[in-house]
Amino acid sequence: MEFTAAQIAGILNGEVIGNPDAKVSALAKIEEGHEGALSFLSNSKYEPYIYTTGSSICIVNQTFSAQQALPQSLTLIKVSDAYACFAQLLALYDSMNKKEAVIEQPCFIHDSAQIGANVYIGAFAYIGANVKIADNCQIHPHVVLQENVKIGDSSTVYPNVSIYKDCHVGSNCIIHAGTVIGSDGFGFAPDEHGIYSKIPQIGNVIIEDDVEIGSNCSIDRATMGSTYIRKGVKIDNLCQIAHNVDIDEHTAMAAQVGIAGSAKIGKHVMIGGQTGIAGHLNVAAYTKIVAQSGIPSTVKKAETLMGTPAIPINDFKRAHIGFRKLPGLIKKVQELETEIKELLKNKEA
């Protein structure tokens, strides 16, 4: 679809500098701009590109002032926050690309399932007994929704996602391809011979509204009760959330994070990639954890942590300086040992 600068400015409450009739039909990074493309500039690091870009329209901050001549073909739209406004346009563009409401064939939908209005269900999807899919949902091909699953309004479940029985997904959620929700928690009890017996996992997973889960994640059902992913949580690709974990509102974690059973993560926690969090502990709200850290025990107050086991980041930096000096210190100790041996030898002589 085509949009003019005037139309875009109207959506963003922005000011057009240049040709209000300039048209765009594509989005592009400013350094890769071309005729008919819309770009944005918010980071001063990329400002040199605005003087050479081929884009037809560029969204900039109100504070932007050109330091040299801009391309004659370029129209600016000045807004209060270029990054946020461009994200708003991306969301609009994404919403326009949603699948048309249709149930593709072949797929299986149990007679007891309830399907809301304006729902897309892709081919080869499996919709089990008593499943409830609310209005405006997008259920992509090869999705499996087992019995009693609930999907809230305007949620999207991408291909090859499996959601086991009794699990609930809230409204406006996005679950990316290959993710498994509600698989059994890792519960086994050894007998006196060290042979493991499986502990039945009879709970479920409850995902609240506005959650996004990346591709190929695993979120285990609770042994009893529920594993909770609270409102607004953002989970990157390849994360493992074990049974009975409770992740509170608006927490975000990067790829390959692993959280062991029954851990409770507070609100607005930020967890870097490849972090490991032990089970049966609490992490205080607003804590920040640097990538590849290990959290073996409860974090009682919000601070930035780094290392394994994780310690306050400034302590880690000071310790790391000492660690880097270790080879020199070892060499010095060896030299001193040699000198002491020589002195003792000379004394004995």
Q: Report DSSP letters for 172-234, one per residue.
A: T-EE-TT-EEEEPP--EEE-TTS-EEEPP---EEEE-TT-EE-TT-EEEPPSSSEEEE-TT-E
pTM, whole model, 2 decimals?
0.86
- 154 Cα distance to chain centroid: 19
Reported as a single tens digit per residue, the pLDDT across 137-150 is 999 999 999 999 99
pLDDT, the chain, mean? 95
Which residues are part of the catalytic machinery?
A: 243
- 88 Cα distance to chain centroid: 18
339, amino acid identity: E
Mean pLDDT of 77-84: 96
Give the list of residues 6+ apart from residue 251 with CB closer than 8 angstroms, or none.
230, 233, 234, 265, 266, 267, 268, 269, 270, 271
For the beta carbon of residue 141, count every other beta carbon within 10 angstroms: 14
Would you state the pLDDT for residue 344? 85
For the beta carbon of residue 99, count every other beta carbon within 10 angstroms: 14
Rg (CA), the chain: 28
Phi-psi region for residue 286, left (φ > 0), alpha (ψ -120 to 50) or beta? left
Give the pLDDT band of residue 342 (cuts 50, 70, 90): confident
Mean pLDDT of 328-332: 90
126 — phi, psi (to 5°)? -120, 120
Mean pLDDT of 285-304: 98
Would you state the pLDDT for residue 225? 96
Give the pLDDT band of residue 349 (cuts 50, 70, 90): low
End-to-end CA distance of the chain: 96
Cα separation, 126 vs 338, whole angstroms: 75
For the beta carbon of residue 248, count every other beta carbon within 10 angstroms: 19
Mean pLDDT of 10-34: 95
All structural domains of the chain, each given as residue ranges with its CATH number in brackets, are: 3-96 (3.40.1390.10), 108-311 (2.160.10.10)
Percentage of residues of the chain with pLDDT beyond 90:
88
By the 8 A CB rule, do 272 and 255 touch? no
Cα separation, 36 vs 16, whole angstroms: 16
Would you state the pLDDT for residue 347? 77
Give the list of residues 6+ apart from residue 158 with CB closer than 8 angstroms, or none.
140, 143, 174, 175, 176, 177, 215
Cα separation, 185 vs 199, whole angstroms: 9
For the beta carbon of residue 182, count every other beta carbon within 10 angstroms: 25
Q: Which residues pair with 254 in a beta bridge?
A: none
Evaluate the CA torsion angle 338, 339, 342, 343 in order and state its sign: negative
Q: Report DSSP letters for 100-150, one per residue.
A: PS-B-SS-EE-TT-EE-SS-EE-TT-EE-TT-EE-TT-EE-TT-EE-TT-E
> How far apart, in Å, are the Cα atoms of 91 and each of 96, 250, 303?
9, 19, 33
Would you state the pLDDT for residue 249? 98
Give the pLDDT band of residue 208 (cuts 50, 70, 90): very high
Give the pLDDT band of residue 91 (cuts 50, 70, 90): confident
> To 5 degrees, how large is the angle CA 241–CA 108–CA 113?
75
Cα separation, 67 vs 196, whole angstroms: 70
Reported as a single tens digit per residue, the pLDDT across 109-158 is 999 999 999 999 999 999 999 999 999 999 999 999 999 999 999 999 99
Indicate whether 348 pLDDT > 80: no
Cα separation, 5 vs 77, whole angstroms: 7
Indicate whether 322 pLDDT > 90: no
Specify the range with the lowest mean pLDDT, choosing from 140-149, 168-177, 319-328: 319-328
